[in-house]
Amino acid sequence: MQVVLAALLAIGCAVAGAVLAGGKRARVLVPFSGGLLAAIALFALIPETAEDIGWPVAVLAAAAGYGLLHLFDRYGVPVCPSCSHSHGFSGPLVTATAVHAFVDGWGMVAIRNSLPNATTHEATGAIVAALLVHKIPEGLALGAILRMSEQKPGRAVLLSVLAEGPTVIGGMVGLWAEQARWIDYPLAAVGGAYLFLGFHAIRAWLRPVHAHNHASNLVEKTK
């Protein structure tokens, strides 16, 4: 039940983010949403994985995730949340969020099952509550950036469901398997991907040469 609630909360916040990203509000939500993604990586994903696998390994895994998207951006499809070719931004964001959501769901159920007595159940409740709370900024950022990338709110909502739905799948896995230690490596890489996507969204919006054109084009697309 908790994983379903987490998925619905994230999807609901994503819908809100997609709605809020329409029109002139997009000028504010581009850097704000990018900042949320970067903050989730810097203050949640990377530090959490570093507790299990150590800071050097966590930083290397995050750098690998960042570097992979950098190569994709440089030699594959350019990543830009407000350009006409911006579908290249949606794919990495949905993939990274889906991995993160799967791990969240797995962790919520695995933690609950691993703590048997009443005292530790209180600690479990606090952990689960923290996981639920962090779904709010994650969902808002996801919906806003996908709306700006995909132009159509319906498509942004559909992609948000695909990105956050794995929370439930992870919870189902957690019913019969403890959370594996190896999961910290891809999760740290997701942190690096979030850093790239967040910083790129902010940087693209702040470029003095292109900022005005990006804003004007985006407002027209999201009307």
Distance CA 31, CA 35 (A): 6
Cβ count near 125 (within 10 Å): 13
What's the CA gap between 45 and 190, in Å, rounded? 8
**Among residues 75, 44, 45, 82, which one has the least CA distance to residue 203?**
82
Dist CA 50 CA 176 (whole Å): 25
Name the nearest CA neighbour of 107 among 184, 189, 9: 184
Per-residue pLDDT for the chain (223 aa), expressed as one digit of tens each? Answer: 789 999 999 999 999 999 888 777 777 787 889 999 999 999 999 999 999 999 999 999 999 999 999 898 887 666 655 554 455 678 889 999 999 999 999 988 877 776 655 445 565 677 678 878 889 999 999 998 888 887 688 999 999 999 999 999 999 998 888 878 889 999 999 999 999 999 988 876 776 444 444 444 544 544 5
d(CA 171, CA 8): 13
What is the pLDDT, as a whole number, of residue 119? 47
Look at residue 195 in the predicted model and tell me its pLDDT.
95
Extents of the domains making up the chain: 2-222
